[in-house]
Amino acid sequence: MKIRNLLLSLALAGSLSAAGAAHPFKASAAAAPPAPAQDARTFTHEGAGVTFELPAGWEAEPDGEQLTVAPAGGGVSLVFWVPEEEDFDAASKALGEELAKQIQDLKFDGEPKSDKHNGMDHASVSGSGKVGGKEILFSADILEAKRTLIILSFGSAEGIQKHAAAFSSLVKSIKRVG
């Protein structure tokens, strides 16, 4: 899967460093690959049924069914996609299996949590592990919009803390289209 290649390339490039700080992924949600940007900062995916605002200084790189969003200079990345599984529960299971394959020494911060995000059903889990020998923190979220959406957020503890405000702003902006 492309996520593995992205995680490995970030780890091998040295953008992920040892994780030792508290996990700052508190509020998160899922989105999907975007349609072309309507303006320089707003992304919409009609098929998935979401829109979100890209923070200033962040870049978006579409790759097939995935969209990777990150600040210039790295430190943290968010990967958005619509899974093949259309059912919320099936997508949850598939995501768990994928995380177990891609992240070594996988540790969860606790049980998955369920709530609502801007009126949409939302489930999330966070934790830590290693990719390419480098420590990472991650958050995996599933959001029930027009279709089931997944977002995987990951990075070094330092990168996550540095970009926490912009991350939070992006997450809060994720909304169902019309």
Q: What's the topology of domain 2-176? A: Protein Transport Mog1p; Chain A (3.40.1000)
pLDDT one digit per residue (tens) for the chain, 178 residues: 444 444 433 333 333 333 333 333 333 333 333 334 344 488 877 667 888 999 999 998 877 767 789 999 889 998 888 887 777 777 777 777 878 888 899 999 988 899 999 999 998 889 999 988 889 999 998 888 888 888 889 899 999 999 999 999 999 999 999 7
Which pLDDT score, from 0 to 100, does residue 67 have? 79
Which pLDDT score, from 0 to 100, does residue 92 have? 76
Which pLDDT score, from 0 to 100, does residue 66 have? 75
For residues 11 and 15, what is the distance between their CA atoms, to the nearest angstrom?
6
CB atoms within 10 A of CB 111: 7
Element (H, E) at 102: helix 88-102
Closest to 21 (Cα-Cα) out of 140, 104, 136 = 136
C-alpha dihedral, 46 to 52 to 56 to 62, nearest 10°: -40
User: Where do the domains of the chain lie?
Assistant: 2-176
The pTM of the full predicted model, rounded to 2 decimals, is: 0.74
Q: Which residues contact 69 (CB under 8 A, 6 or more apart)?
A: 54, 58, 59, 60, 61, 77, 78, 79, 80, 170
DSSP E strand stretches across the chain: 42-45, 50-53, 58-63, 66-71, 76-81, 104-108, 113-117, 120-131, 134-144, 148-155, 175-176
Which pLDDT score, from 0 to 100, does residue 136 have? 93
